[in-house]
Amino acid sequence: MDIVGTFKDSIEVAKKNPIIFVPTVAVGLITTAVSIVLIGGAMTPAGTMGGMGSPAGAMGAVGAAMGLAALLSIVGMVLGLVAHGMTVGMAQEAIAVGTTNLNTGISVVTSRLVQLILAAVLVGIAVGVGMMLLVIPGIIAAFLFMFTFVIIIVENIGAVDAMKKSFELVKANLGDLIILFIAVIGVGIVIGIISMIFRFIPVLGQLAGSLLMGLFGGYITIVIVKVYQGLTKKVQPELT
């Protein structure tokens, strides 16, 4: 596998089809903006309860902020899953035929939403439990199931079958995919650090950080789809 070539080719796909980034960028910016408005706004009215600076006011402010943060986190995960599914479908089409559009992403993700949600729960449990077991097992689980969502979108099969196929595909191409996985993590760490630095700047910096992460997420999705197509020779769109 030519990993450097895959990254370069994915850049070309992205340059020709910037619309691929719309779902991940939009979800990131919207959730960040809503978080800034709602959580920031929740502190002021709650803080006036029982008098400025009172224990009741402080507890109310913290409770309101935590409740909204939890709700936004759940909504963000669902929207992120939808955005990822759309991006996979659009990347698959763009690589196969040279162009894509939002309608493709919307159509494919709505037809496979149940499988995607179930896969997100199952993979999330596997990775989460692994992370609690000294982190490394969680990283291994994420590695083994890295193609799960791509397989669901491309082959339109169930979550469990997609996880099994991902496991088998990774196992059959272990050496190349370990290198790819390390490369993706390395780039992700750099992008994550830059994004965190941006977030120290109120509002605009937070939005810039979300924009950067959205672009990174979209690009890595193109890379994973391209790798999957290369390993399975699935170069034709199968998105019906």
72-115 pLDDT per residue, tens: 677 778 888 899 999 999 999 999 899 999 999 999 999 999 99
171-184 pLDDT per residue, tens: 999 999 999 999 99
Q: What separation in angstroms does the CA of 84 have from each of 71, 87, 113, 116, 155?
A: 20, 5, 11, 10, 16
Residue 208 lies in a domain: yes
What secondary structure, in 3-state letters, does 179-198 show?
A: HHHHHHHHHHHHHHHHHHHH
- pTM as predicted: 0.83
pLDDT above 60 (res 48): no
Q: Any alpha helices (H) in the chain, and if so which ranges?
A: 3-16, 22-47, 55-97, 102-111, 113-132, 136-144, 148-155, 159-172, 174-198, 204-232
Residue 240 lies in a domain: no
Q: How many domains does the chain have?
A: 1
Residue 29 lies in a domain: yes
The domain in which residue 93 lies consists of: 3-232
For residue 48, what are its two tokens? Answer: 């006036």
Q: What is the pLDDT of residue 24?
A: 94
Helix (H) or strand (E) holding 48: none
Q: Average pLDDT in the 193-200 region?
A: 89
Residue 237 lies in a domain: no
Q: What is the pLDDT of residue 235?
A: 46
Dist CA 27 CA 226 (whole Å) = 23
pLDDT-based confidence at 33, cuts 50/70/90?
confident
Cα-only R_g, the chain: 20
Residue 200 lies in a domain: yes
Hey, is 78 helix, strand or coil?
helix
82-91 pLDDT per residue, tens: 999 999 999 9
Hey, is 161 helix, strand or coil?
helix
Residue 220 lies in a domain: yes
For residue 37, what are its two tokens? Answer: 């408005």
pLDDT above 50 (res 214): yes
Residue 210 lies in a domain: yes
Please, are residues 156 and 112 in contact by the beta-carbon 8 Å criterion? yes
Residue 98 lies in a domain: yes
Q: What percent of the chain has pLDDT over 70?
A: 83
Q: Average pLDDT in the 130-147 region?
A: 89
Q: Average pLDDT in the 155-161 region?
A: 93
Q: Average pLDDT in the 142-163 region?
A: 94
Pick the more confident residue, 118 or 237.
Answer: 118
